[in-house]
Structure 1
């Protein structure tokens, strides 16, 4: 099978492209940074550089491939709506159009369970529990992008959307690097009582889910799937596990949710007034995410994709810590 992986210079896209090559697939990759995909080119991937906001480039990328794994997108919780609209919705429209015009058979779209988050605690969220209003621009545009993908079904494109939660492992430049940096500056506190449970996903488990999505048939198609390790843990247990592995002090200081939320609101307000609107070190959404229960029901993926998470969170964190130590020593 010949596939295209977008966003291959990023964590999820890069790890899946490497995994696909190891499975014997023919892989074309696209990414913003050529240096970010050098390791894939050395392993046999074809690299076409360019911006996915260019429809003609996307047509070229989609030519002569059977399936597209769309990992590219705008991430984060800070910034103007237009940035997320372009990076998530308009780019996905281009990918869908490229698939249809080049007669690509299947599109696997990497979405996000952030669409569910409303600032409150939720356990075992099912795929249909989408709120009427979204918490931020990222969540709103990720859901809109999903709708563009599912809208292509009526034109014959086979589609699947995956919503993986807190993906980690070697290459994770998002979750734990930020927390490690805050703890290094002695700015990390446990928000609330520290017992809130959340889901994580090993990148290896996500790779298996994406591969299953490429191979699935029949009633598995045309659906969105929650993806996680299926074993929620208190978020601060995971954070402190990483701190121990990295020989750093554990997070032991507690801060009330109300105080933390107020401080984050003031921090956001100051950043809005500051020239260039820099991203705040504390955000209200961050305080909510780190203090609320947030777990997913993955029974749909288990049933239709035969998804069975095999790599534990602790193994994924060991993988991350080993990689991060190697990065820091280079």
Structure 2
């Protein structure tokens, strides 16, 4: 099978492209940074550089491939709606149209469980529990991108969407590096009582889910799937585990949720007024994420994708810490 992996210069796309090569698949990759995919090219991947906002490039990327794993997109807690729309919706539209024009058989779309987040506690969320309104442009545009993907079914494209929660392992730049930096500066505090449980996903488990999506039978098609390790854990236990492994002082200060939320609002207001509108280190959404229970029901993935997460969270965290020590030393 020949596949295209978009966003291969990023964490999830890069890790899956490498995994797919190890499984013997013929892999073409696209990403924003050529230096970040050199290791994939050395392993046999074909690299085609360029920006997916160009429909012509998207069509070239999809030429003569059997399936596309679409990992490219805009992420973050801060930014303008139009930027998220370009990175998540427009790019996905271009890839979908390219798949249809080049007669690609299947598209696996990397979505996000952030679409569920409404600022409240949620335990065991199912794929149908999508709110009527979204808290953030990232969530709104990720859901809209999903709808673009599912809309292509009527034209013959086989589609699936995965919603993995808090993916970590070697290469993770989105979760723990920021927290480590804040704690080293003494700016990190436990929000609320510190007992809120959340889901994490080992990137190795996500790789298996993505591969299963490429090989899944007809009954699995046309659905969105929650992906996690399936074992919710207290968020701040996880944070402090990483702090201990990295020999950084553990987080012991507590901050009431109301105060943390207010500080986030003030910080956002100041950053909005500052030239260039830099991303705030503390935001209202960030404080909600750090305070709320947020867990997923993964029974649909278990049933249709035969998803059976084998790599535990602590193993994934050890992998991250070993990798991050090397990055920190550079």
TM-score (norm. length: structure 2): 1.00
In structure 2, the residue matched to 1:40 is: 40
Write the distance in 1 (CA, Å) between the matches of 2:209 and 2:17. Answer: 13
What is the RMSD of the two structures over their aligned residues, measured on CA atoms?
0.4
Q: What secondary structure, in the 3-state scheme, does the structure 1 residue paired with 2:162 have?
A: strand
In structure 1, the residue matched to 2:103 is: 103
Deviation digits for residues 49-108 of structure 1 (CA, Å, limit 9, x no counterpart): 000000000000000000000000000011111000000000000000000000000000
Deviation digits for residues 190-211 of structure 1 (CA, Å, limit 9, x no counterpart): 0000000000000000000000
In structure 2, the residue matched to 1:254 is: 254
Runs (5+) with no aligned partner, structure 1: none
Q: What secondary structure, in the 3-state scheme, does the structure 1 residue paired with 2:108 have?
A: strand
Instruction: Please give the residue correspondences for 1:118-129 in structure 2 after superposition, counting only pairs within 5 Å.
Output: 118-129=118-129
Aligned residues: 330
Q: What secondary structure, in the 3-state scheme, does the structure 2 residue paired with 1:5 have?
A: strand
Write the distance in 2 (CA, Å) between the matches of 1:249 and 1:202. Answer: 25
Deviation digits for residues 206-225 of structure 1 (CA, Å, limit 9, x no counterpart): 00000000000111000000
In structure 1, the residue matched to 2:233 is: 233
Q: What secondary structure, in the 3-state scheme, does the structure 2 residue paired with 1:290 have?
A: helix
Write the distance in 2 (CA, Å) between the matches of 1:38 and 1:95. Answer: 23
Q: CA deviation at 1:328?
A: 1.6
Write the distance in 1 (CA, Å) between the matches of 2:207 and 2:55. Answer: 27
Write the distance in 2 (CA, Å) between the matches of 1:250 and 1:276. Answer: 33
In structure 2, the residue matched to 1:312 is: 312
In structure 1, the residue matched to 2:284 is: 284
> Aligned pair 1:93/2:93, yes or no?
yes
Q: CA deviation at 1:329?
A: 1.9
Write the distance in 2 (CA, Å) between the matches of 1:108 and 1:176. Answer: 27
> Aligned pair 1:267/2:267, yes or no?
yes
Write the distance in 1 (CA, Å) between the matches of 2:77 and 2:198. Answer: 19
In structure 1, the residue matched to 2:296 is: 296
Write the distance in 2 (CA, Å) between the matches of 1:82 and 1:291. Answer: 28
> Aligned pair 1:244/2:235, yes or no?
no
Q: What secondary structure, in the 3-state scheme, does the structure 1 residue paired with 2:27 have?
A: strand
In structure 1, the residue matched to 2:148 is: 148
Q: CA deviation at 1:327?
A: 1.4
In structure 2, the residue matched to 1:57 is: 57
Write the distance in 1 (CA, Å) between the matches of 2:323 and 2:40. Answer: 17
Write the distance in 2 (CA, Å) between the matches of 1:18 and 1:219. Answer: 28
Q: CA deviation at 1:326?
A: 1.3
> Aligned pair 1:5/2:25, yes or no?
no
Instruction: Please give the residue correspondences for 1:132-211 in structure 2 after superposition, counting only pairs within 5 Å.
Output: 132-211=132-211
In structure 2, the residue matched to 1:78 is: 78
